[in-house]
Structure 1
C-alpha cells in the first residue's frame, strides 16, 4: 500500500524511473540517493540530466544507461577532466546516481584543494565494478 501512495505522489518522470521497484523501501532508498543530500553545482546538474533522460524515456526514447553516463560525462566542465580520464581508465560500469555521488566526491576534493580550479589528481573511484559489454 505504501508503494502505491509513494508512486501516486510522484511526477510522471519519477514514476517511470521507479515503476520496476516492487518494494516501497527500494523507492525510498532511490529517492534518498537522488534528493537526500544538500545541493552542489554538480549534483544539481546531474539531477537535471537525470530528469531529461527520464522525460526522453517517457516519450519513447531508449538510451542505454552506459550511453547516458557517457553523455553526462561529456557535459561536465573542464575542472572534471582528470575525473573523466580516471573513469575511462578504470572502465567503470555505474548508474547515473552512482556517477552523481562520485562527482560530488570529486567536487569536494576540488573545492578543498584550490577553490574549484584545480583538476582532481588523486581521485580514486569508490566503485571498482569493471565495465561490461
Structure 2
C-alpha cells in the first residue's frame, strides 16, 4: 500500500471496519454482478455433442451465484431454464420430464440428464468407408 492509503486505513480501529471501507471503495457493485449472472444464465445454450455434465456444472454454478447474491429464483424456474438451454437432441427427455410431472431438484435433474446422455449418445452410428470395386459385375446371361 502507498503511504497515503495506509494513513487512511490507520484511522480505522478494527479489521471489520477496514474491510467494509475497502469493499465500498474497490468492490464491483452487486447490481453489476447480478446483471452479468442473469445474462449468462438465461443466455447459455449447450452445443450439440458437448457434455451435458459440464453444461450442468456451469448451470449449477450460476444457480449458486444467484443464491449468494440473494437473487434466487424458485426451483421450477431454474429447471425450466436448464431444460430450455439443451439442444434439440434432448427434446425427448424434455417431453418425458414435463409429461410425467417430475418434481426434481437441480442436482437430480443434472444426474438424470447425464444418465440420458449415457444411454442415448453412447453408441453413435459409425460410418464405414470402403473402396469402390474396380471390377465390373457380370450381367445375368454373361458367360464365364
Q: TM-score range by the shorter chain?
A: 0.5 to 0.7
Measure how far apart 1:60 and its partner are.
1.8
State the match for 2:112 in structure 1: 102
The 3-state SS of whatever aligns with 1:94 is coil
Deviation at 1:113, TM superposition (A): 4.6
Cα distance between partner residues in 2 of 1:41 and 1:98: 17
Residues 63 and 72, structure 2, Cα contact 8 Å, conserved in 1: no
Q: Does 1:67 pair with 2:93?
A: no
In structure 2, runs of 5+ residues without a counterpart are 1-49, 126-144
1:50-89 to structure 2, matched below 5 A, reads 50-89=60-99
Secondary structure of the residue aligned to 1:82 is helix
3-state SS, counterpart of residue 114 of structure 1: coil
Separation (CA, whole Å) in 2 of partners of 1:109 and 1:51: 25
User: How many residues get paired?
Assistant: 76
Which runs of no fewer than 5 residues in structure 1 stay unpaired?
Answer: 1-39, 116-133
Q: Encode CA deviations 1:28-79: one digit per residue, 9 max, x unaligned.
A: xxxxxxxxxxxx8101101110100110111121201111111100001111
Is 1:90 the equivalent of 2:75? no
TM-score normalised over the length of structure 2: 0.50
> Under a length normalisation based on structure 1, what TM-score does the superposition of the two structures give?
0.53
Q: Quote the residue 2:58 is aligned against.
A: 48
Q: Distance in 1 between matches of 2:122 and 2:58?
A: 25
Distance in 2, Cα, partners of 1:96 & 1:56: 14
User: Rg bigger for which structure?
Assistant: 2
The equivalent residue for 2:24 is: none
Q: Which runs of 4+ in 1 moved over 4 A?
A: none
Question: Which segment drifts farther, 63-72 or 105-114?
Answer: 105-114
